[in-house]
Amino acid sequence: KSQGRNNIQMFGEMQASAPGYEDSEMTARFAAAVKQNLLQVYYQPVMDATNYRNIVGVEALARWHDEKYGWVSPAIFIPLAENLGLINEVGRQVFEQALNHFSKCSGVCANLKLALNVSKRQLVSNDFYEMIVAMVQGYGMNPGQIILEITESIALQGVDQAKSHLQKLADAGFSLSLDDFGTGFSSLSHVHELPFDEIKIDISFVRRIKTPEGRVLVKTIVDMGHAMQQILVAEGVEDSETADILREMGVERLQGYYFSRPMPKENCATFISELLQINEL
Ligand code: C2E
Ligand code: CA
Ligand code: CA
Ligand code: CA
């Protein structure tokens, strides 16, 4: 059992089939943490592939630290929140925190984009649109600064249902990103029907890019995405060789441990201002 606990503390390699579902203690502790507004938000920079010193924006990633379980991966607690009917509240708290941080960083962050993850229940819930529009306005921000990341399986489960929600958000000026691309069973023709601006190539493809098959796969996604006027983003870039291959393929934006791990807002602000100073030289 202690082995299981240790696994829960690891980020990255975990499956969304959460062992936490049967773990009523974790469930209770999570619900209490949400109630007390204890979730945190970390930020991971997204870089311009043509110049590794240019930052395009940051992705907000939810974090939960529990005294008993340590850092629990969002791959565990986001599905848990969905099951508990808490996902709208979790999403609201994450957005609120991220918009608050981002608006306070307005000098340094003025030209940066803030990417927020949106789960299916959130997207299709009745008040999501009103909530996000009001919140962005309330923090004096422009929807054009916000990228909403929707996972592929979500976007394509019910294309028609998702479409009207996505179209409304696009019309309001939000950028829409198709997250985890390649993991679902979609065809790119579905992408064409939906108002996405950006495709995020899933980490599982990026990991295989140094093999000949992996390279062909990624190149195919990139070329088809570009043919559909999409911006291509690669996640999970862990070394310079991978970054260079992606850049040569024409991927516009890169994200991953090679550039930076997700980090708390203070470290993120330092990271950004250091980059900006370098750019001014
Ligand atoms: P995602 O949206 O695909 O986020 C990217 C994940 O990859 C993050 O995991 C990030 O920490 C990790 N990552 C980034 N660069 C690298 C790298 O170079 N190598 C490796 N191995 N991993 C890298 P994280 O933070 O554990 O989040 C997992 C998933 O949980 C996210 O996947 C997203 O689907 C979901 N999630 C996180 N925060 C939220 C949120 O606020 N709302 C919703 N609905 N989902 C969230
Ligand atoms: Ca994402
Ligand atoms: Ca992703
Ligand atoms: Ca993912």
Q: Is the pLDDT of residue 169 over 60?
A: yes
The alpha carbon of 151 and the centre of ligand 2 are apart by a number of angstroms equal to 7
User: C-alpha distances in angstroms, 182 versus 2, 20, 32, 46, 230?
Assistant: 34, 27, 35, 20, 15
Predicted TM-score of the model (pTM) = 0.91
- Cα-to-centroid distance, 278 and ligand 4 (Å): 31
Ligand 2 center to 149 CA (angstroms): 6
C-alpha 238 to ligand 3 mean position (Å): 14
pLDDT at 16 over 90: no
The answer to whether the CB of 210 falls within 8 A of the CB of 216 is no
Ligand 1 neighbourhood includes 152 CB (under 6 angstroms): no
Average pLDDT of the segment spanning 20-43: 90
For residues 148 and 146, give the distance between their C-alpha atoms in angstroms, rounded to a whole number.
6
**pLDDT score at 157:** 65
> Under DSSP, is residue 117 helix (H, G, I), strand (E, B) or coil?
strand
Per residue in 232-279, pLDDT tens? 999 999 999 999 999 999 999 999 999 999 999 999 999 998 888 766
List Cβ neighbours of 219 (8 Å cut-off, separation of 6 or more). Answer: 249
What is the model's pLDDT at position 10?
Answer: 35
d(CA 206, CA 53): 21
Does the Cβ of 20 fall within 6 Å of ligand 1? no
Q: Is 235 in the pocket of ligand 1 (CB under 6 A)?
A: yes
Are β-strands 70-72 and 253-254 bridged in parallel, bridged antiparallel, or unpaired?
unpaired
DSSP state of 277: H
Average pLDDT score over residue span 182-209 = 86
Cβ–ligand 1 distance for 93 under 6 Å, the answer: no
pLDDT value at 173 more than 70: yes
Around Cβ 126, how many Cβ atoms within 10 Å? 8
Higher pLDDT, 109 or 93: 93
So what's the pLDDT on residue 168? 96
Tell me the pLDDT band of 152, cut-offs 50, 70 and 90: confident
20: confidence class by pLDDT, cuts 50, 70, 90? very low
* SS3 (DSSP) at 63: strand
The pLDDT value given to residue 187: 63
- What is the model's pLDDT at position 233? 98
Q: Which atom of ligand 1 lies closest to the CA of 14?
A: 26
Least confident of 58-62, 176-180, 232-236: 176-180
Q: What percent of the chain has pLDDT over 90?
A: 72
Res. 160: pLDDT tops 90: no
> What pLDDT sits at residue 215?
97
CB 231 within 8 A of CB 199: yes
88 lines ligand 1 (CB under 6 A): no
Answer for the pair 200, 187: CB distance below 8 angstroms, yes or no: no
pLDDT digits over 63-79, tens only? Answer: 999 999 999 999 999 99
Nearest to 175 by CA among 133, 115, 127: 115
DSSP string, 147-209: EEEEEHHHHHHTHHHHHHHHHHHHHTT-EEEEEEETSSS--HHHHHHTT-SEEEE-HHHHHTT
